Amino acid sequence: MTRWLRSFPAIAPLLLGVIVAGRASAVDIPGDPSSCGITIERGDPGVLQGDLGCTGLGENSAITLNPGATLVLDGFRVTNDNHGVSCHASVSPARTCTITGPGEITGAFNGVAAASRVRIEDVTIHGNVNGTWKIYGNVPWAARVDLENVVIRDNSAAGTRGGGAIRATDSVIRDNGDVGMTSQGPTTLRRTTITGNVGAGLLTGIYNDFQQQYDYSERRAHRLIDSDVSGNGLIDGNADLVAAKRPKLLRSTCGTSADPTQPGNPSWGVCAGD
Q: For the segment 163-202, what is each residue's pLDDT rounded down to a tens digit?
A: 678 999 999 999 999 999 988 778 999 999 999 999 999 9
Domain count, the chain: 2
Residues 104 and 167 in one domain: no
Residues 50 and 148 in one domain: no
Q: What is the mean predicted confidence (pLDDT) over 12-25? A: 41
Residues 97 and 135 in one domain: no
Residues 192 and 240 in one domain: yes
> Is residue 11 within 8 Å of residue 19, measured between CB atoms?
no
Residues 93 and 167 in one domain: no
Residue 47: pLDDT over 60:
yes
Quote the pLDDT of residue 91. 65
Residue 217: pLDDT over 90:
no
Residues 75 and 171 in one domain: no
Which residues constitute the domain of residue 37? 25-116
Bigger pLDDT: 214 or 199?
199
- The two beta strands, 97-100 and 70-72, are parallel
Residues 187 and 272 in one domain: yes
How far is residue 143's CA from residue 5's CA, in Å, rounded to a whole number? Answer: 43
- The two beta strands, 61-65 and 83-87, are parallel
Of the three residues 57, 82, 116, the one that is the final residue of a domain is: 116
pLDDT category of residue 161 using cuts at 50, 70 and 90: confident
Q: In what order do the strands lie in the sheet with 166-169?
A: 27-29, 46-48, 70-72, 97-100, 118-121, 145-148, 166-169, 187-190, 222-225, 248-250
> Is residue 202 within 8 Å of residue 161, measured between CB atoms?
no
Quote the pLDDT of residue 136. 53
Q: What is the mean predicted confidence (pLDDT) over 4-30? A: 50
Residue 5: pLDDT over 70:
no
3-state SS, residue 13: helix
pTM: 0.86
Residue 8: pLDDT over 50:
no
Whether 6 maps to a domain, the answer reads no
Q: In what order do the strands lie in the sheet with 110-114?
A: 38-40, 61-65, 83-87, 110-114, 130-134, 160-162, 181-183, 202-204, 241-242, 257-258
pLDDT category of residue 22 using cuts at 50, 70 and 90: very low
Whether 240 maps to a domain, the answer reads yes
Residues 243 and 187 in one domain: yes
Alpha helices by DSSP H, listed for the chain, are 3-6, 12-21
Of the three residues 116, 138, 163, the one that is the final residue of a domain is: 116
How far is residue 247's CA from residue 269's CA, in Å, rounded to a whole number? Answer: 10
> Is residue 29 within 8 Å of residue 53, measured between CB atoms?
no
Residues 51 and 104 in one domain: yes
Residues 274 and 171 in one domain: yes
Residues 80 and 148 in one domain: no
Beta bridge partners, 29, equal 48
Q: Which of 7-11, 26-30, 230-234 has the lowest mean pLDDT?
A: 7-11
Residue 151: pLDDT over 80:
yes
Residues 233 and 167 in one domain: yes
Quote the pLDDT of residue 213. 62
Percent of the residues in the chain that have a pLDDT greater than 90, as a whole number: 62
User: Within 13 A of 140's CA, how many CA atoms are on the CB side?
Assistant: 4
Q: For the segment 235-244, what is each residue's pLDDT rounded down to a tens digit?
A: 766 899 998 8
Q: Which of 6-15, 108-117, 192-201, 265-274 has the lowest mean pLDDT?
A: 6-15
Quote the pLDDT of residue 208. 54
